[in-house]
Amino acid sequence: MDNMYSMLSLLEKLSVIFIFFIGLGVLAIIYMYIVDRTQTKQAIRRNYPVIGRFRYLFEKQGEFFRQYFFSMDREELPFNRAERSWVYRAAKNVDRTIAFGSTRNIELTGTIMFMNCAFPTLEEDAVPPSTITFGDGCREPYSTDSLFNISAMSYGALSAPAVKALSNGAAKAGCWMNTGEGGVSEHHLASGADLVYQIGTAKYGVRDEQGQLCDKKLAEVAAKPQIKMFEIKMSQGAKPGKGGILPGNKVTAEIAKIRGIPQGEDSISPNAHPEIKSVQDILVMVNRVRDVTGKPVGFKVVIGESLWLTALLEEINSQGSEFAPDFITIDSADGGTGAAPQPLMDYVGLPLKESLPLVVNLLIKYGLRDRIRVICSGKLITPSKVAWALAVGADAVNSARGFMFSLGCIQSLQCNKNTCPTGITTHNAKLQQGLDPADKAERVANYHKYVQYGVGLLAHSCGVKHARKLSRRHVRIIQDNGLSVALDKLYPYNHAEK
């Protein structure tokens, strides 16, 4: 009997202990839930309290599993883990150094390498990037020293908190932000950041009731001091020959009002500007917008068949360089977007490694390089890729997905579904609450800062005083035979001639 009582007493004690630990576990879960819901640093944890913590646990275990079971750091697409990890660390302002050795294979065909100088630039000799001016002949030219800027992402494709964070981050960083074709909102304007207003094929924000370009609305937009330049979107890398696509479930009342379209209906832009059917028409629209606004005007395009570009430059020389666009934005065929048909995303257009030197060389050939600035975009999210573009001949580089990563994007590939788990590309209020604009604005500014800093490191290693002094002779590229060739030999005109 005593043994039975002893056994029952032991069971009671074990039960009490078990209940105690269960209670502790419940309290811990409640505590973690409250902490995750109230913190603003990580959107995943805020939107998915407690459960979201597993994402960071798995991420830390990722190196082990990739090493022995799955893909390595440099194998993922469209952006590999090494690239994304660098952006995350830069945005968070934490250590960006690595140890032991690079995981990058420098023997692959197409690999680029910067040529260090025997006499690198000393810190006291380094200077900030030179200032460039767009539209010298405009009533209101635009000058900037930023090498790296926020590419076109529409309010609609992005959520309101994301636009606020990017706009405030751009203001802190001193770079420009492209509005995308969805028009300009109060979320863009509130920070005072420099803005490039994009005119898409649907003319959102500057169209009349028939969907045609409206001079009155153009003038109203141009009157906003934050708007520094206008970009006519002819095509974009993810879908050349196809207009913008915004699913109806992302067309909120506010977005519908800004765009001048019905709420809740799919927003499908025309494949091209109906009034642009020739190179002469391009110049007509560029000059019309510039005359109305008084500000620099250029166009964005994916290069494919390029005979039209030669015809355009010949037409400019025939009419006079004052009629030229103030800039050309070249988008790479591997650009991204919120929604696009797969055949266009996978198979149409030239990648930037071919189109950028092609355009720069043509501008030099026709004597227009000093007149027309060159901006480029397309998977240029790290300092090495930005430096490569500057060396080839770009005046400035734009990035969309790089800045999305700085906001916390985890490449979940749900941009077109209104279910983005980080709140960046969704209008679901519950998911948006995970994205704190104030915190993410700091990350945007940090990311910009360290891209420019990294580009400077490469420039100084090559022996030049600032990044805009980089030229093609500073870069070599691996050929099929495993040996490298300098870019100034591969593309004869060098950066100094631009």
For 285-326, the pLDDT digits (tens) are 999 999 999 999 999 999 998 999 999 999 999 999 999 999
- Lowest mean pLDDT segment, chosen from 21-30, 69-78, 104-113, 256-265: 69-78
For residue 441, the model assigns a pLDDT of: 95
pLDDT for 186 beyond 80:
yes
For residue 8, the model assigns a pLDDT of: 58
**Alpha-carbon distances of 195 from 19, 131, 224, 232, 396, rounded to whole Å:** 59, 17, 10, 14, 15
- Where do we find the tokens 């002819």? 234
479/106 Cα distance (integer angstroms): 11
Global confidence as pTM: 0.85
Longest dimension (CA), the chain: 112
- Lowest mean pLDDT segment, chosen from 74-88, 352-366, 456-470: 74-88
pLDDT for 193 beyond 60:
yes
Q: For residue 497, give the DSSP letter.
A: G
For residue 308, the model assigns a pLDDT of: 96
The pLDDT mean for the chain works out to 88
Q: Higher confidence at residue 410 or residue 485? A: 485
pLDDT for 36 beyond 90:
no
For residue 224, the model assigns a pLDDT of: 97
Three-state secondary structure string covering 331-353:
ECCCCCCCCCCHHHHHHCCCCHH
379/238 Cα distance (integer angstroms): 11
Angle made by CA atoms 27, 30, 34, in degrees to the nearest 5: 140
244/155 Cα distance (integer angstroms): 12
pLDDT tens profile 436-495: 999 999 999 999 999 999 999 999 999 999 999 999 999 999 999 889 999 999 888 644
For residue 243, the model assigns a pLDDT of: 78
* Encoded tokens for 187: 């979320």
341/104 Cα distance (integer angstroms): 32
For residue 84, the model assigns a pLDDT of: 84
Q: In what order do the strands lie in the sheet with 475-478?
A: 112-114, 475-478, 484-486
pLDDT for 498 beyond 50:
no
Max mean pLDDT range (76-80, 235-239, 268-272, 398-402): 398-402
Q: How confident is the model at residue 209 (pLDDT cuts 50, 70, 90)?
A: confident
Q: How confident is the model at residue 21 (pLDDT cuts 50, 70, 90)?
A: confident
Asked if 413 contacts 141 with a C-beta cutoff of 8 angstroms, the reply is no
pLDDT for 368 beyond 90:
yes
**Alpha-carbon distances of 84 from 25, 45, 159, 181, rounded to whole Å:** 34, 19, 21, 26
Q: Higher confidence at residue 168 or residue 2? A: 168
For residue 135, the model assigns a pLDDT of: 96
135/85 Cα distance (integer angstroms): 37
pLDDT for 56 beyond 60:
yes
pLDDT tens profile 400-409: 999 999 998 8
pLDDT for 380 beyond 50:
yes
Give me Rg for the CA atoms of the chain.
26
Asked if 386 contacts 490 with a C-beta cutoff of 8 angstroms, the reply is no
Mean pLDDT across 60-67: 58
127/258 Cα distance (integer angstroms): 42
For residue 51, the model assigns a pLDDT of: 79
Give the three-state DSSP class for 479. coil
Asked if 451 contacts 173 with a C-beta cutoff of 8 angstroms, the reply is no
Angle made by CA atoms 411, 417, 418, in degrees to the nearest 5: 95
Q: How confident is the model at residue 273 (pLDDT cuts 50, 70, 90)?
A: very high
